[in-house]
Amino acid sequence: MTQSLFAIYLGRGMRDMGRGLIAIFIAIYLTAIGLSMPQVGLLLTLSLLGGFLLSLMAMSGARYLPRKIWFVCLTFVTCIAGCILFLSDNIWFLGIGSFLGSYAASGMHWGPTVQLEQVSITEITSEKTRPRVFSNLNIASAVGRAIGSALVGIATYLIGVHDWSIIDAYKVLIFIYVGINLINGIIYLFLTKEIESNVPKNELIVNPIITKSRRKILKLSGLFGLDSFAGGLIFDSFVAFWMFQKFGMNEGLIGIIFITTQMCNLLSLWLSPYVARKIGLLNTIVWTQVIASLCLIFFALVGSPILAITLWMFRGLFDEMDVPARQSYMMIIIPENERNVMSGTTNLGRGLGRFPSSYITGLLWSGSLTIFPWVSAGILKLLYDFTIYTTFRKEQPVTIKPKPTT
């Protein structure tokens, strides 16, 4: 394992530790300081819009700044956003912070840093080793999210034992969140030049319209946008709030559920390369998500908290299995000089699809239509699964001369 690959693994784990932490309490915290659910939905929508625009900057700026600089700068921007959340309860300042720092905590598989990871890993792996490396990357993500979920227990302890208010206890968590991202920025300083593209800057394509693979890129971007829109209806912050509101669970119990679900995710990520070798990358992308989508629909419909938790955890065994397969698949169906624009454009598609959905969920919840987002998300994800399968089932990989493997 190279120094850069280790830094990418560790950076992903730390970043998603922060995301796993903030995802559980952010919606509860924002309502505790006086925001309505539509306002919470609007703030989280701004978070997704900000991620979309930062992704666009990272893609178009690939010609001008090294990837290492982008990694470090994006992480420190998140630190600034965390400081705003800690210091202010003004909705305008919170809107700026959410725009910059992704309070929505929904960027595990999209966002500017994710697209940087994808193209950087592609530079230092071969087609043969890439599925396992992407699997390891997402395992690091799941471990980080599990640890982040466990850290919420600090607030439970402060509230239950020392009689702190919810707001004060959650501010401790925000302080930890800022510290995690600060450490992450330092980790990225250890990235080396091996993550940079070998393609000359003037040959690096940043406009998907002029690529030879534009039809593939735009089709995948549209489909990923559909999938992301569906995911945005029920991302982790709303899942936590749903458990809090419908079943009366506190943040400690929600954290335990999230940790257990992350363990299920870990297993699915570890199994993903083996499943892909048996049934192929595209089949892994599609059929594991069909099972996860059906679980999502039934999760919303059951009235028993035990059955709901069981369905959520069973979904966790399949929900992440497609991710390494999808990341590998994108990189093998296009030429090397189009990888940056493929990663960037599909990432933008996911961002564009996601940013209106959280606001829609906030509006639906304010009108007591709390089941609708879950069922809609499940149906839309099933539509995505079958569309991507019928569209790309005959697609053949592009032959690319590999770089030295890790």
Q: Number of structural domains, the chain?
A: 1
Predicted pLDDT at 62 = 66
| Inside any domain, residue 238 | yes
398 secondary structure, DSSP code? P
399 secondary structure, DSSP code? P
Predicted pLDDT at 128 = 79
Predicted pLDDT at 39 = 86
| Inside any domain, residue 401 | no
| Inside any domain, residue 203 | no
Nearest to 93 by CA among 104, 82, 107: 82
| Inside any domain, residue 309 | yes
156, 251 Cβ separation under 8 angstroms: yes
Task: Identify the burial level of 130 via C-beta atoms within 10 angstroms of its C-beta, where 0-12 means exposed, 13-18 middle and 19 or more buried.
Answer: buried
| Inside any domain, residue 95 | yes
Find the CATH number of the domain harbouring 22: 1.20.1250.20
The residue range of the domain holding 363 is 3-196+209-392
Give percent above pLDDT 70 in the chain: 89
| Inside any domain, residue 29 | yes
Predicted pLDDT at 405 = 45
Nearest to 282 by CA among 234, 223, 352: 223
| Inside any domain, residue 201 | no
Query: What's the pLDDT tens digit per position in 114-124?
Result: 888 888 888 88
374, 361 Cβ separation under 8 angstroms: no
| Inside any domain, residue 150 | yes
pTM of the model: 0.73
